[in-house]
Amino acid sequence: GDISSQLHGGYSHPLARSWQAERQLTKSMLIYPLFISDEDDEEILIPSLPDQHRRGINKIVPFLEPLVRKGLRSVILFGVPMKSGVKDALGTAADDPKGPVIATIRLLRQRFPQLFIIADVCLCEYTSHGHCGILRDDGGLNNQLSVDRVSDVAIAYAQAGAHCVAPSDMNDGRIRAIKLKLIEEGIADRVVLMSYAAKFSGCLYGPFRDAAGSVPSFGDRKCYQLPPGGRGLARRAIERDIGEGADIIMVKPANQYLDIISDAKEIGKNMPIAAYQVSGEFAMLHAGAKAGVFDLKAIAFESTEGILRAGATIVVSYFTPQFLDWLES
């Protein structure tokens, strides 16, 4: 037939096939989530999140040493207060100078100078009600109080030495508030502001909430995380956060939201786009592999390469430790 119908030759060799990808997965694209307990010697497997643990500050360095040696470049910290009586309506413990996140930021900065430390910023792990902000009497989020509090926590993490703060709260205007406070503190030039700009409500965060003890005590997050059908709303949230000063835009979840990642890349064409393969997506892949649907390593690569194909060059992945081995070989 007509030679123009012949495409097979262009991908007839493994190297030619790899050349078809616009972006190749490398170790430096990967961010590894860590759950930091306030029980210093704890190291507990998280049943619903395969291969992941909640660790106290005394267990973090020995765990990270081999990973850093293998090329781990970045971690994102989630504080998990396990001690009783810590949580309150304001999430006061979030920026406790002796709390797990601030202590771990300081420790990791000192122990692993090359490691890029990202602090997730939210209140849901620290509030008695489990919501990502401060509540009004009617149970909704008080936007001003929530934004004031979230931005204060972000500054505390930055002052403690976090290279990057990543507010996952989804309160309106928190990016602008954090950027302004970073400028006021004179540290805006040394802190990356990564916005969870398009973060959707839905059913894919269950294992994380088990791990972090951050299940809302009532209601849900549908009034502040985006509705899964809201593609235009996500585009508006991305545009807003870019305008408010975000340095990196993150989309979350990832594999169920590849169109949003490509929208984010189109809108934020001049900036890096991150995506978070969340706990439910990760656990689902493990369940599929366990059920014999596919090989775990194969689906880890195929799902992550799909996230890159959509336009992300930064991936928050619970597969990171294995990728450090798989990308080596």
Ligand X SMILES: NCC[C@H](CC(=O)O)[C@@H](CN)CCC(=O)O
Instruction: Give the residues lining the site for ligand X (CB under 6 A).
Output: 120, 122, 124, 132, 168-169, 205, 208-209, 214, 221, 278-279
Say how far apart CA 81 and CA 98 lie, in whole Å.
12
197, two tokens: 């700009």
Number of chain positions touching Zn ion (CB under 5 A): 3
Given the complex with Zn ion, which of 121 and 310 has the nearer CB atom? 121
Among the listed residues 132, 135, 158, 237, the single contact to Zn ion using CB under 5 A: 132
Q: Which of Zn ion, ligand X, none does 86 bind, CB closer than 5 to 8 A by kind? A: none
Q: Is 181 a catalytic residue?
A: no
Q: Is 98 a catalytic residue?
A: no
CB of 169 to ligand X, least distance (A): 6
Given the complex with ligand X, which of 120 and 263 has the nearer CB atom? 120
The stretch near Zn ion (CB under 5 A) out of 22-30, 117-125, 278-286, 300-308 is: 117-125
Q: How would you classify residue 116: left for phi > 0, otherwise alpha for psi between -120 and 50, otherwise beta? A: beta
Give the active site residue among 87, 252, 269, 297.
Answer: 252
> What's the chain's Rg over C-alpha atoms?
20
Give the active site residue among 59, 87, 199, 265.
Answer: 199
| SS3 at position 264 | helix
- 119 makes contact with Zn ion (CB under 5 A): no
From the list 193, 181, 171, 178, the residue with the least C-alpha distance to 127 is: 171
From the list 86, 83, 147, 88, the residue with the least C-alpha distance to 121 is: 147
CB of 305 to ligand X, least distance (A): 20
CB of 203 to ligand X, least distance (A): 10
Among the listed residues 25, 64, 77, 122, the single contact to Zn ion using CB under 5 A: 122
Compute the CA torsion angle 242, 243, 245, 247 (nearest 10 deg): 20
281, two tokens: 């997506």
Handedness of CA 292, 298, 301, 304 (dihedral sign): negative
Task: Name the residues annotated as catalytic.
Answer: 199, 252
Q: Which residues bind Zn ion (CB under 5 A)?
A: 122, 124, 132
